C-alpha cells in the first residue's frame, strides 16, 4: 500500500510540475522548413499557389488516396477552400487561402475537425536565390494552457513532414 501511495504522489507531483512549467512557456509556436528549387520563381509560385497541387507533393494529402475532397471557390485566390475527409490517419478538415501576395506568398488557415479540433495558420513563400527559388513552408499558431507544454515538440512533430513535402515538391518541379 505504501508503494502505491508513493507512486501516486510521484505522478501527482510530476503533473503539478508540468502544469507549473506550462504557466511560463510561450503559447506561440512556429515551424519552418526551406528548400531551393532549381526553377524560376514565377514557375514555382504559380504551382504552389494552387492548393489542389498539394495532392501531388504533400505527404498529408497523399496519405489517403481515397479521401473525399470538396473544393469551393477559385484555387489560387483568397477564399478558396479545400475540404477533406479521409481515414483515421488523415482525419477531416479544411484548408483555406487567406492571402495571396502574387509571385511571393500564399497564406492559408488549416482547420481540423477530426481526429481533434484545432486550427493553425501558415504560408508558402518564394524568393529568388542564385540558381533557383528558395521555397519556404511555415506553420504557426498558438496553443492554449496547458497544451502549450507541447510547443517545443512542434518542430519535431511537423518539421520532418514539412521537409518531406518540400523535397517532394523540388523533385516534382525539377523533373518537369
CATH number at residue 155: 3.30.530.20
Percentage of residues in the chain having pLDDT higher than 70: 100
Q: Give the pLDDT of residue 144.
A: 79
When pLDDT is cut at 50, 70 and 90, the band that residue 113 belongs to is: very high
Assess if residue 78 is contained within a domain: yes
Cα distance between residue 25 and residue 115, in whole Å: 26
Identify the bridge partners of residue 30 per DSSP, sorted by sequence position. 140
Q: How many domains does the chain have?
A: 1
Closest of 111, 170, 115, 112 to residue 137, by C-alpha: 170
pLDDT at 135 over 90: yes
- Containing domain of residue 91, as a range? 27-174
Determine, yes or no, domain membership for 92: yes
Calculate mean pLDDT across residues 140-161: 84
Tell me the C-alpha distance between 104 and 128, whole Å.
10
Q: Is residue 139 part of a domain?
A: yes
CA distances from 160 to 80, 96, 157 (A): 27, 23, 7
| Count of residues in the chain | 176
Helix, coil or strand: residue 141: strand
Give buried/exposed letters for 67-99 (b at 16+ CB in 10 A, else e). Answer: beeeeeeeebeeebbbbbebeeebbebbbbbee
Confidence band for 149, pLDDT divided at 50, 70 and 90 = confident
pLDDT tens for each residue of 4-40:
888 888 888 888 787 777 777 778 889 999 999 999 9
* Per-residue pLDDT at 90: 85
47-73 pLDDT, tens digit per residue, is 999 999 999 999 999 999 899 999 999
In the predicted structure, residue 172 carries a pLDDT above the cut 80 = yes
- Asked if the structure places residue 41 within a domain, the reply is yes
Contacts of 85 (CB under 8 A, 6+ apart): 67, 68, 91, 92, 114
Percent of the chain whose predicted confidence (pLDDT) is above 90: 65
24 to 4, 145, 160: CA distances (angstroms):
31, 10, 27
Least confident of 52-56, 63-67, 85-89, 151-155: 151-155
Biggest alpha carbon–alpha carbon distance for the chain? 70
The predicted model gives 112-137 an average pLDDT of: 93
Whether residue 1 has pLDDT greater than 80:
no
Q: Is residue 10 part of a domain?
A: no
Dihedrals phi, psi of 44, to nearest 5 degrees: -65, -50
Residue 136, all three cell numbers: 519556404
Amino acid at each position: 500500500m505504501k508503494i502505491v501511495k508513493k507512486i501516486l504522489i510521484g505522478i501527482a507531483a510530476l503533473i503539478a510540475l508540468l502544469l507549473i512549467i506550462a504557466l511560463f512557456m510561450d503559447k506561440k509556436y512556429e515551424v519552418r522548413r526551406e528548400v531551393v528549387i532549381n526553377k524560376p520563381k514565377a514557375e514555382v509560385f504559380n504551382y504552389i499557389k494552387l492548393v489542389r497541387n498539394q495532392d501531388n507533393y504533400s505527404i498529408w494529402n497523399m496519405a489517403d488516396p481515397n479521401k473525399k475532397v470538396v473544393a469551393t471557390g477559385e484555387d489560387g485566390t483568397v477564399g478558396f477552400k479545400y475540404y477533406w475527409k479521409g481515414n483515421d490517419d488523415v482525419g477531416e478538415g479544411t484548408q483555406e487561402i487567406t492571402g495571396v501576395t502574387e509571385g511571393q506568398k500564399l497564406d492559408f488557415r488549416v482547420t481540423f475537425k477530426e481526429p481533434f479540433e484545432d486550427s493553425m495558420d501558415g504560408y508558402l513563400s518564394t524568393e529568388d536565390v542564385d540558381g533557383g527559388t528558395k521555397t519556404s513552408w511555415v506553420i504557426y499558431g498558438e496553443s492554449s494552457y496547458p497544451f502549450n507544454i507541447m510547443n517545443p515538440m512542434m518542430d519535431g512533430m511537423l518539421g520532418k513532414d514539412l521537409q518531406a513535402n518540400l523535397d517532394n515538391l523540388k523533385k516534382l518541379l525539377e523533373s518537369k
